[in-house]
Amino acid sequence: MLLPPAGPLRIYATLSFFDSLARGVMLAGGVLFFTRVVGLGAVEVGTGLSVATLVGLMAALPAGLIGDRIGHRRLLITLSLVRAALLGSYLLVDSFPAFLLVVSLAGLAESAVDPVRQAYLGSLTTPENRVATLAYNRVVHNVGATLGTPALGAALVIGSTSAFRALIAGGALCVLCVGIIAVRLPDTRAGQAPPRVAGVLRDRPFLSLALLNGLLILHGELLEIAVPLWVTGHTHAPAWTAPALLLVNVALAIAFQMRAGRGVKDAGSAARAMQRGGIAVLACSLAFATTGSLPSALALTVLFGAVALLTAAELLQSAGAWGLSYELAPHSRLGEYQGAWSVGTQLGRSSGPLLITLALTGLGGMGWVILGVGYATAASLAGPLTRHATRTRPHTTAAEAPDTAPGSATSTPTPTATATATATAGK
């Protein structure tokens, strides 16, 4: 894995590392902190986190719009400082109402920062190196999240209140480092779009793809929820199989993310990557469906093969999502469009756990088949939806035609508009 060239992209990769390290520590560490140290019940914690996810939906699009107005780097620094303060305030929580308030505010900040980061990175890159840069940062994210696991393990081994408090403080410190590192980045001011109500809300072709991506992001829930539930409750595989499968996923993602992104050059190739990911999920699901009746050794072999297919789907879907979310967005409105894309992702993630749990709990192996067929069918829509979205791009960039929203009645369709707008924006 080669380093990005010295300069902003390498600094941004360092920022990504600290951000992913914090998220890796806080993902499970936060739950354990609130149950073991604060003394909240599991249902209370689950309720609070669900509320935080729903509240966070309100922040993504406004944050993207604000970033386009004042500059993404400036907002990234501000949000990083706010996130660090909110994570640090976990240490002050002593009741359920306080917990609900803090995690809801943290959910708003977490949801707001994602489109701002993506928009800023888009302003640092060109169409030629964008997907490769995003793939590299995804690798860095996986490495950072994985390195956060030993810190959580150490807190569990020590088992003291001080150990878990140190874990939370460490996560907040990592987020503070994100803000400090962002100060070293250039202020690209790629946005400066004229003030107006979010034009992306009138861009129905783009919104359709954002919602579709929200469905396709469910491969993450299949890995994190469906696989452990299925392996431990429906197969004869050894008890260590579930965590081993998760480690295999991380290792394969780190090894092959860059390669998966190389084939995505434009919106059409991005859509094809998503469609291939759908086929991989279907094959994976059919493999999982057979493991319930297999003897231990054979089930183990099939399970590892199925997770390899699921990882391939993850890599293809993420590369396709990057290609579409940038190629179809006006350069001067990257924050606004990334915010809308992020809302689609969050909607998918909020509905995924219930959908997957119901399918596997009530239907067993047939649930895997239904999930796989449904996923592949949804992925097959990426091609026609992308072709429609490409035809509805305007002739000019948003900076040249600020009052025309792509996909609106006043925009003039053209098959080559995406390439023209992207080339102009990248100069």
407 pLDDT tier (thresholds 50, 70, 90): very low
Q: Are 230 and 288 in contact (CB under 8 A)?
A: yes
> Are both 14 and 142 inside the same structural domain?
yes
Give how far the C-alpha of residue 180 lies from the chain's centroid of Cα atoms, to the nearest Å. Answer: 23
Q: Determine, yes or no, domain membership for 13.
A: yes
> Are both 288 and 420 inside the same structural domain?
yes
> Are both 53 and 138 inside the same structural domain?
yes
Q: In this structure, what are the phi and psi dihedrals at residue 401, rounded to the nearest 5 degrees?
A: -135, 70
Residues belonging to the chain = 427
Q: Point out the domain boundary residue: 182, 213, 234.
A: 182
> Are both 156 and 223 inside the same structural domain?
no
- Check pLDDT > 50 for residue 330: yes
| Average pLDDT over all residues of the chain | 84
Reading the block at residue 182, the tokens are 């962002």
Distance CA 235, CA 238 (A): 9
Q: Determine, yes or no, domain membership for 38.
A: yes
Q: Are 375 and 172 in contact (CB under 8 A)?
A: no
> Are both 265 and 120 inside the same structural domain?
no
Rounded mean pLDDT of 96-116? Answer: 93
154 pLDDT tier (thresholds 50, 70, 90): confident
- Between the two ends of the chain, the Cα-to-Cα distance in Å is 27
> Are both 250 and 144 inside the same structural domain?
no
> Are both 176 and 262 inside the same structural domain?
no
> Are both 322 and 228 inside the same structural domain?
yes
Task: Look up the pTM and report it.
Answer: 0.80
pLDDT digits 0-9 by tens, 259-290: 888 888 899 999 999 999 999 999 999 999 99
> Are both 16 and 101 inside the same structural domain?
yes
> Are both 77 and 156 inside the same structural domain?
yes
Q: Determine, yes or no, domain membership for 1.
A: no
Report the amino acid identity of residue 349: R
> Are both 154 and 292 inside the same structural domain?
no
pLDDT digits 0-9 by tens, 221-265: 888 888 888 888 888 888 788 888 988 998 999 889 888 888 888
Q: Determine, yes or no, domain membership for 196.
A: no
Q: What share of the chain is helix, strand, coil (3-state, %, to 5)?
A: 80, 0, 20
CATH number of the domain at 262, please: 1.20.1250.20
- Check pLDDT > 80 for residue 340: yes
pLDDT computed for residue 390 by the predictor: 93
Number of domains in the chain: 2
Q: Determine, yes or no, domain membership for 3.
A: no
**Domain residue limits at 16:** 8-182
pLDDT computed for residue 103 by the predictor: 92
Q: Which helix (H) or strand (E) holds 98?
A: helix 96-124
pLDDT computed for residue 189 by the predictor: 64
Rounded mean pLDDT of 353-360? Answer: 80
pLDDT computed for residue 427 by the predictor: 33
> Are both 103 and 173 inside the same structural domain?
yes
